[in-house]
Structure 1
């Protein structure tokens, strides 16, 4: 009996040791061997870059380069310079100067091929292969924020989500949402008018939080109904989650699973946001809106579809997870980026009163004393140029990143499966070879004949991403920006407050670090 127990114990120990060996071998391959193979395959083709450490890649060097720049930033804090990319992403600028327009670096185990070569970027944009998809780290490292929603998924599951969500943002559908954009914006401007009157006609306002609240209200009402989703609070918590996540390091093997203070804060915010969305879904399910179908109802219907089509929801996804992930994606894409862009537009018009006057004249000529409608928005050519130029100089999204889901080739370069191709949007948007010697200046007139007339390679303009994975809500975002700006122009004039400190910063989006403070005067 004792002998059989000893044999059983030995067998169990052997199984455990074997399992441990398999786990160690898997971790070693995922965190060391595979990244080295990927890197070696690219380096052998002549692509260079900083040498990474084993576990952290080039993260320590990125921190060192960024820290060394801080004293330089403090020398002229009030000077408005639109060539801000070298200050916000100094490591990318330094490595580009040192290694060329295409170089290789890593964050932990993630291998990033940074591409600023315009011809190679054009080739990527025109690529329709399904072998080029969203990076896997978006649904793992950025999982609390994005999960496996439309912004981070790939393949048939992404196509299924796009099929549900994209039609809600087609141009014809967006036209039907303009009236509620006007209604929400008018309510915000009423509060601004009251503040101005109470201050004798002129008041100082920091617009960022107002725009966030406005954008949250618009996206909630447009996509999720009017009275049941606590959109403002969800968006505020997503902003907090985004801010906490921007402080972390992506790609360090196993780090996201450790119960560090940073991770515990992420997990808490994720639980709270998920709970709020599910509570809203529960209330939405009990609402009776007749035949009206909003986006949340379409997501609910898709989640309840039990068909066995493999292009639908994967077997390992719960109904709640499908709904929560896509709600977070839509809120994030439809709220934060639009609010930030509206702040940058107001800042640029404050800094350039001649363009503010031109845009106001156009709005008043087209709308008079009436509020803008969907039919007149497309006639606002000057305002459209202002928005396009602002998005060129201050794109809310810093990178377009694609992962090679299979081996792929661009401009004669073989890129192995698992490598990430990163295109820094601000660097492409201010490349003098593409935009001319005035690339760092605010000149909306460059868009007078559209993007094709503004840039040598029109594909290099990508404020909404590129290709089949471009932002599904870009018509919605442009309409919202035009409504907000046209209504403000028709009621106020403004200038930059002396308190304004121009300091773009990257917090998973390009935003004004200290907000946009303006002196607002009622017309």
Structure 2
């Protein structure tokens, strides 16, 4: 009898514990949802209403996810890779390529811009955003550097690739890092790198010569060889970075570049622009893969640094950064150790100086392949400079290449590697006539600025280098609307470095070869942290 009552009592206790456990789970879930509601929806809604009171419109957000579902629906409807065909036989064989890719890569921005104009607000659940594409406001946006910084939620997702380096830091940390790194990219320093850039370019040309000779020896087409130029240009740019930073060759740092590229692709597999991250703290296969790559890259970079510390015969870029970090150790503080500072800024230089420059060179060659008349003009100009007693690898001679400069500027207008200027209001600040509340993220879509007919004229989607004949100030109505390297104090540090590289490699390639687009070429720009050709750039290359 007693045992029966005990069993009943135990069963009742177990049921009671089960109910309590369920109630605890429900309570915990309710607390989490309430916190999400308080920290995301209520905050985002407060910011949205603050902007709405100032006349800033935008799509109505949903609970928790904001406008992300709508962005995903709009993206799904866009036709990826549209605006391309093969050779246009009716146009005399010239290939046709539509250069305006914003409606396929970023269709939601274009969709809302048509509805709400060049300034509007939208939400990604966790964050409220302000889209700005008015030239005067963009100019102010890049000048308010003390109150505006890189968006914290976005840079957090890029941390495995960029660390706490200058590309994602803000405030005093950014100012201190810029003070150390910026002088190494001043024009007088970059001019001293022209020789090594030329050597790297000549190595690229030797590889292409060998391919052409091998094709001829094998009974192939003697007129042209099909070359996918992207990887070759990537190796050229990586070799330049390796020589400038470490006093070594690309071969020595090849594993670093390969792993950085893998890490970039891994991060880009899922949209980091508008994807929500409520459960970002949970471990996933992707996060483990990124963590492993990050540790491997840092270990490889530090190994190279340690070798450089024992061999300081020449002062390269990293040697100067190492000295600057040691000299300014007190200013860096405990949060940013000397090792962390050096490794993270090397990662920044690798990515920005290598990947973006090589992609810009690929787009430049694609455009020149479409326009042989500009190849001819560049070739004639390079010939005049060389025949005039100068050297193509001499800094003073490079300054004479006006046509090359125009071609590169126009290529960067149509295909800027960086798609956005992004900022977060670290404090309430005024941009134009809008008071931007603290916490709002501000976005400017660079390709849209570069294709505004009110700024550039009706021929905005045409490749027309002559628009830069008298410089950027005369090329468009508002010079601040040309931002391939950003504007203001956060202007890309490697601007001079990239432009000199591009001048050298484009000049040498065009002076030695003629080329046109291969039938294999498929025009399909894709956004992988930078805008790059998804299927590569295939050219039919013929030696002159």
Q: TM-score, normalised by structure 1?
A: 0.90
Q: Which residues in structure 2 correspond to 1:14-29 (within 5 Å)?
A: 29=38
1:518 and 2:542 are equivalent in the alignment: no
The change in CA–CA distance for 1:406 and 1:443 in structure 2 (over 3 A counts) is same
Which one of the candidate residues 334, 337, 345 is aligned to 1:315?
334
Q: Which residues in structure 2 correspond to 1:45-444 (within 5 Å)?
A: 45-70=54-79, 73=82, 79-125=96-142, 127-200=143-216, 201=222, 202-226=224-248, 230-250=252-272, 252-285=276-309, 287-290=310-313, 292-305=314-327, 308=330, 312-368=331-387, 370-444=391-465
Look at both structures and tell me which one has the larger radius of gyration over its CA atoms: 2
The change in CA–CA distance for 1:492 and 1:390 in structure 2 (over 3 A counts) is same
Shift of 1:194: 1.0
Q: Contact 2:136–2:480 (CA<8 Å) still a contact in 1?
A: no
Alignment deviations for residues 368-411 of structure 1 (CA, whole Å, 9 cap, x no partner): 49543111001000010000000000000000011111101122
Return the alpha-carbon distance in structure 2 between the equivalents of residues 306 and 462 of structure 1: 31
Return the alpha-carbon distance in structure 1 between the equivalents of residues 270 and 176 of structure 2: 31
- SS of the residue 2:421 aligns to: strand
Aligned to 1:492: 513
Return the alpha-carbon distance in structure 2 between the equivalents of residues 349 and 397 of structure 1: 21
Alignment deviations for residues 6-62 of structure 1 (CA, whole Å, 9 cap, x no partner): xxxxxxxxxxxxx99999887654433322322221122221222233333322222
Aligned to 1:3: none
Shift of 1:492: 0.8
The change in CA–CA distance for 1:76 and 1:392 in structure 2 (over 3 A counts) is same
RMSD over aligned CA atoms reads: 2.5
Point out the more displaced range, 245-254 or 184-193.
245-254
Alignment deviations for residues 286-325 of structure 1 (CA, whole Å, 9 cap, x no partner): x3233x32222233334445754xxx22322333322221
Q: Contact 1:113–1:419 (CA<8 Å) still a contact in 2?
A: yes
Aligned to 1:16: none
Return the alpha-carbon distance in structure 2 between the equivalents of residues 324 and 51 of structure 1: 43
Shift of 1:446: 0.3
Q: Contact 1:206–1:516 (CA<8 Å) still a contact in 2?
A: yes
Return the alpha-carbon distance in structure 1 between the equivalents of residues 446 and 398 of structure 2: 27
Return the alpha-carbon distance in structure 2 between the equivalents of residues 267 and 52 of structure 1: 33
Aligned to 1:34: 43
Return the alpha-carbon distance in structure 2 between the equivalents of residues 162 and 180 of structure 1: 25
Return the alpha-carbon distance in structure 1 between the equivalents of residues 84 and 414 of structure 2: 22
Q: Contact 1:256–1:263 (CA<8 Å) still a contact in 2?
A: no
Give ranges in structure 2 of 5+ residues lacking alignment: 1-27, 88-95, 217-221
Alignment deviations for residues 123-180 of structure 1 (CA, whole Å, 9 cap, x no partner): 324x345112222124312211122211111122111111111111111111110000
The change in CA–CA distance for 1:515 and 1:249 in structure 2 (over 3 A counts) is closer
Return the alpha-carbon distance in structure 2 between the equivalents of residues 219 and 382 of structure 1: 26
Alignment deviations for residues 226-263 of structure 1 (CA, whole Å, 9 cap, x no partner): 25984332222222211221222446244332212222
Aligned to 1:11: none
Q: Contact 2:392–2:398 (CA<8 Å) still a contact in 1?
A: no
- SS of the residue 1:113 aligns to: strand
Q: Contact 2:150–2:423 (CA<8 Å) still a contact in 1?
A: yes
- SS of the residue 1:279 aligns to: helix
Return the alpha-carbon distance in structure 2 between the equivalents of residues 465 and 71 of structure 1: 27
- SS of the residue 1:317 aligns to: coil
Q: Contact 1:107–1:249 (CA<8 Å) still a contact in 2?
A: no
Q: Contact 1:138–1:146 (CA<8 Å) still a contact in 2?
A: no
Aligned to 1:13: none
Q: TM-score, normalised by structure 2?
A: 0.87
Q: Contact 1:216–1:235 (CA<8 Å) still a contact in 2?
A: yes
Alignment deviations for residues 433-489 of structure 1 (CA, whole Å, 9 cap, x no partner): 000000010000000011111110000000001110010111111100001011111
